[in-house]
Amino acid sequence: MTGAARSSLVLPVGLAITMLLAILSLRFGLRDIAWPEIWNALFAFDPMNADHITLRELRLSRVTAALIGGAALGLAGALMQAMTRNPLADPGLLGVNGGAAIGVVISIWILGASAQAALIAPALIGAGIAAVLVLVLGGAAHRSGPDPTRLVLAGAALSALFLALTWAVLLMSREALDVFRFWVLGGFTGISMTQVMAVLPVYAVGFPLAFLAARLLSPLILGDDAARALGVRVWLVRLICVGAVVLLCGATVSLAGPIAFVGLLVPHLVRPFTGVSIPKLALGSTILGACLATFADLAGRFLLPGREVEAGVVIAMIGGPALVILVRRRQEVPL
Amino acid sequence: MTTMTLRIGGFSTRLPTRLVLVNAVLVILLVAFAGQSLLAGTYPTSLADLQNALSGRADKITSMILLDHRLPRILTAIGVGLAFGLAGETIQTLLKNPLASPDIIGFSAGAGTGAVLTVVLLGTGTFVFLGAMLGGLTVAALILALSWKRGIAPGQLVLMGIGISLTVSVINDLLMTRFDVTEAAQIAKWLVGSLEARHWQDVSILWLGLACLGPLAFWFQFKLSRLALGDETATVLGVAVDPARMATLLLAIGLVALAVSVAGPLPFVAFVSGPIAHGLTRQPRPTLLCAALVGALVTLLADTASQSLPGGLTLPAGIFTALIGAPVLLWCLIVESRKRRG
Amino acid sequence: MTHRLLTENLSLSYGKTTVLDDISTPVPSGKVTSIVGANACGKSTFLRCLARLLKPTAGQVILDGTSIHKQNTRDVARKIALLPQSAAAPDGMRVLDLVKQGRTPHQSPLNQWSLADQEIVSSAIAKVGLSGFEERLLGDLSGGQRQRAWIAMSLAQDSDILLLDEPTTYLDLTHQIEILQLVRDLQEHRNLTVVMVLHDINLATRFSDNLIALKDQRILLHGRPEDVISESAIAAIYGLQCSVIADPHTGLPHVIPR
């Protein structure tokens, strides 16, 4: 099969698999729900039926969160790697996860919050503040926009700073440590529709902005000067790109905790099918990200008897070996 | 830019003046802070007390505080910092990526798992250091073995390392949820890295290791700086690329193993030393000595800070290495970009 | 006459793609040899095999009677220098820092800046016309100056065999002539063996004793420029219709595309 044929097939196939996984996620879990009941729960809801309540209150919101969250992380990863021209760039490098973590920890420590729902706002605020700081220090105010290397270094530095502060709080407050050690695993369990709705506006801005950024980024592959010669406003493109990544990741980390690997791994898995085209890479990464997160969420229900394994853990267990195989099969990657 | 040339018998070298000055200033700062940290504190002592203690004429408490408490701790801090600085600079130069650091070869994450598992399996914290060393070496060996393809390919090594480190650190997170919260707090303290209660035993292991590995690191700086020109150019210049790369990597792993097993991961020291040294000296990398000195200074300052919190609060030094290192790195970034754009 | 450097049945392929196919040729000692040919005919690959940067799939490169891959890489580096086509230097490197790397095969970690090193490095810098630029950052130089700094590094290596992969890239006409004249002078002065890959057939003719023309992974022609260059030869090498006239200054053949 030719490369073109492969790349045109891979998107619909990926989408189909993702949808199938999403439907299976509605069906199976600690409590299996029969197919007709799924249909009824959606279209002929009976508030007295336990299956219907489980599906509407728990499963549906959880699957939605996994789909959107995974898609957001995959897309953000593709943008980050394309923009920084660094295959190691992970959205977490913008300090979003670190910022969210410190937000969570401080809100537990000072405000005594412990319910997952109460952690969304502080996580989002922390992520936002961190992202703005990274942007300013990364040179976003400059004529040519944020310099990718400097941005990544600034992100790494600030992440470490936030991580240190987080640990400082954790070592002073047992309560914070107790909540945080579960939050940090990352997963979609117990997310309610209200929570999804709370962050939906952020996604609603983030996704269109990200796809716009993917289109705009294409000329930048050739280097800043070549792009400028083509009439591209490089600083604006970079700013849009970073803004989109921050919105997508900030929303996801506040919803589901820090989920590693999706942003790093997914673009590498997609690239053999899409080639260098950034819009295609972005679209492919969105679909595969959603697919991976949904699969991890589903698989986590069966791995251990009587206990769910968090999606973040499952993704790490798949991601590590997948990356090993990927790297070993490939020629030397240029850095 | 002026330079100094040094030729004694068969020894010759060329040193940019700025490099010499920066290193001299760093050494002076290091000695000053070490002295300050030795004499000041909740139990203030004077230089005369130190002299008395060294000659065995001081009272028991003064002598204990100075010689058994503060001195080993300071020497540990300096030694660990030197080791992290050397390892960080070596790995970042070798892999030509500012994001690369010993964390990338999986050592810190592996050491964490080793430590946590020791506590889980043995039920005691006594052998944490041994477990950390074993865990770190295992993961590093795994990453090296998996990225081996007729030699070490830097790009593959970095990706492989990041991947495996991420997985291993999620395992750490998962293990943390298996303890009751008090135990978890103890382990967390170790995972951050601390210099509390170091004995002469730690000091002697550390400095003995440094005495073996340090000179080797400087010996390999010659080849390392050629590798920085790219594999082809290095080969043309007569450097056998694969063996040199393998040797420097193993050396860096050895240095990190040494430091981690004595003090825990101490995040950020290895990562930040090289870029700070580069920013200060404005020399092409590697500048091993300068990076090592920066590492020592950051660690010593962090340890001093961790002991001088208000309200009798103590936090492990690992918190402060990042709190000190990160702003300095950011400052270097800002200065460098001003210079470049201005 | 014996040749210090030669290839025996040299073949190289990447997977199924053959890049060099059974090439056996001497490299004339004490002469300038240029490798010419169309794009992707294996010119650079051949040169990189000579410098032991690529390991042949079959056959071997012989240096002073032994296969080059069996020799100590440092010993080879004292005999063969190569100017790579596109090399990048690390940030913050200055001209002098780069050029002194050329002394590597003659140095040890303890003996990094002997008097001989210092003299050879400054004479190499002077030869490429970069005196006074020693402390300039490479990143601040023009493309041509940077290229000359790299050439100076190869000269500082002080080897008898000098391989140059498109040394005139990034250079304007004046500097192209200057660099090639410099290579010629050095060759005559120190009796160097020079092998270079050149794109410009007229410059190759003018500055070489020997031409090796590659076509379809094999040697098509090998000999003195005045013997090799003809209208039919150019048509065979490049697939280009041209006239060949005598250069009014040198009398050597000069190719004018139609």
Output the 3-class SS for chain C: CCCCEEEEEEEEEECCEEEEEEEEEEECCCCEEEEECCCCCCHHHHHHHHCCCCCCCEEEEEECCEEHHHCCHHHHHHHEEEECCCCCCCCCCEHHHHHHHCCHHHCCCCECCCHHHHHHHHHHHHHCCCCCCCCCEHHHCCHHHHHHHHHHHHHHCCCCEEEEECCCCCCCHHHHHHHHHHHHHHHHHHCCEEEEECCCHHHHHHHCCEEEEEECCEEEEEECHHHHCCHHHHHHHHCCCEEEEECCCCCCEEEEEC
Confidence grade of residue C7 (pLDDT, cut at 50, 70, 90): very high
What distance in Å separates the CA atoms of residue C9 and residue C253, rounded to the nearest whole number? 31
Contact A185 B163 (CB under 8 A): no
Q: A3-329: CATH homologous superfamily? A: ABC transporter involved in vitamin B12 uptake, BtuC (1.10.3470.10)
Query: Which pLDDT does position B106 carry in this prediction?
Result: 76
What distance in Å separates the CA atoms of residue B21 and residue A138, rounded to the nearest whole number? 30
Instruction: Scan for tokens 């980024």, then name that residue.
Output: A217
User: Percent of chain A, pLDDT > 70?
Assistant: 91
Q: What mean pLDDT do residues A262-288 have?
A: 88
Query: Which pLDDT does position A237 carry in this prediction?
Result: 85
Cα C163 to the center of its chain, rounded Å: 3
What distance in Å separates the CA atoms of residue C116 and residue C102, rounded to the nearest whole number? 13
> 3-class SS at B11?
strand
Query: Which pLDDT does position B46 carry in this prediction?
Result: 85
E strand or H helix at A236: helix A234-256
For B278, nearest residue in chain C (alpha carbons): C92
Query: Which pLDDT does position B234 carry in this prediction?
Result: 92
Q: Which of residues 15-74 of B touch A (CB under 8 A)?
A: none
Within 10 A of A283 (CB to CB), how many other CB atoms are there? 21
Contact A171 B333 (CB under 8 A): no
How far does the CA of residue B277 sit from the closest CA of chain C (Å)? Answer: 12
Token pair belonging to C147:
């290229």
CB B7 within 8 A of CB C113: yes
CB B296 within 8 A of CB B30: yes
Helix axes B107-122, B181-192, angle to 10 degrees: 150
CB distance from B272 to chain A under 8 Å? yes
What distance in Å separates the CA atoms of residue B12 and residue B9, rounded to the nearest whole number? 8
How far does the CA of residue C87 sit from the closest CA of chain B (Å)? Answer: 8
Q: What is the DSSP letter of A88?
A: T
| Model confidence pLDDT, tens digit, residues A136-151 | 787 666 666 666 667 7
Token pair belonging to A56:
């509407």
User: Percent of chain B, pLDDT > 70?
Assistant: 95
Beta bridge partners of C221: C213
Please, how many CA atoms are within 13 Å of residue A60, restricted to the half-sphere of its CB? Answer: 14
What is the CATH code of the structural domain delimited by C5-87+160-257? 3.40.50.300
Alpha-carbon torsion B198, B200, B205, B209, what sign? positive
Whether the per-residue pLDDT at B337 is higher than 70: the answer is no
Query: Which pLDDT does position A2 carry in this prediction?
Result: 53
Confidence grade of residue B115 (pLDDT, cut at 50, 70, 90): confident
Q: Domain spans of chain A?
A: 3-329
Mention every residue, 6+ apart, whose C-beta is less than 8 A from residue B318: A164, A167, B192, B193, B194, B264, B265, B266, B267, B302
CB B166 within 8 A of CB A316: yes
Contact B285 C102 (CB under 8 A): no
CB A245 within 8 A of CB A251: no
Query: Which pLDDT does position A335 carry in this prediction?
Result: 38
Show residues of chain C in contact with B239, CB under 8 Å: 73-74, 104
Strand order in the sheet with C80-83: C80-83, C161-165, C193-197, C32-36, C210-215, C218-223
Q: Which of residues 133-172 of C touch B (CB under 8 A)?
A: 135, 157
How far does the CA of residue B152 sit from the closest CA of chain A (Å)? Answer: 10
For A182, nearest residue in chain B (alpha carbons): B177
Show residues of chain C in contact with B242, CB under 8 Å: none
What distance in Å separates the CA atoms of residue B300 and residue A134, rounded to the nearest whole number? 27
Whether the per-residue pLDDT at A1 is higher than 50: the answer is no
Q: Domain spans of chain C?
A: 5-87+160-257
Show residues of chain B in contact with A185, CB under 8 Å: 170, 173-174, 177
Whether the per-residue pLDDT at A246 is higher than 90: the answer is no
User: Percent of chain C, pLDDT > 70?
Assistant: 99
Whether the per-residue pLDDT at A269 is higher than 60: the answer is yes
How far does the CA of residue B229 sit from the closest CA of chain C (Å)? Answer: 5
Q: Subunits touching C (CB < 8 Å, at least 3 pairs)?
A: B
Q: Which of residues 251-310 of A touch B (CB under 8 A)?
A: 260-261, 264-265, 268
What distance in Å separates the CA atoms of residue C150 and residue C144, rounded to the nearest whole number? 10
Contact A172 B272 (CB under 8 A): no
CB A264 within 8 A of CB A288: no
Q: What mean pLDDT do residues B12-27 have?
A: 92
Q: B3-341: CATH homologous superfamily? A: ABC transporter involved in vitamin B12 uptake, BtuC (1.10.3470.10)
Whether the per-residue pLDDT at B198 is higher than 60: the answer is yes
Contact C52 B235 (CB under 8 A): yes
ipTM: 0.89
What distance in Å separates the CA atoms of residue C120 and residue C133, rounded to the nearest whole number? 16
Q: What is the DSSP letter of A58?
A: I
Lowest-pLDDT range of A52-56, A146-150, A218-222, C83-87: A146-150
Query: Which pLDDT does position B152 carry in this prediction?
Result: 77
| Model confidence pLDDT, tens digit, residues B275-317 | 889 888 888 878 999 999 999 999 999 999 888 888 777 788 8
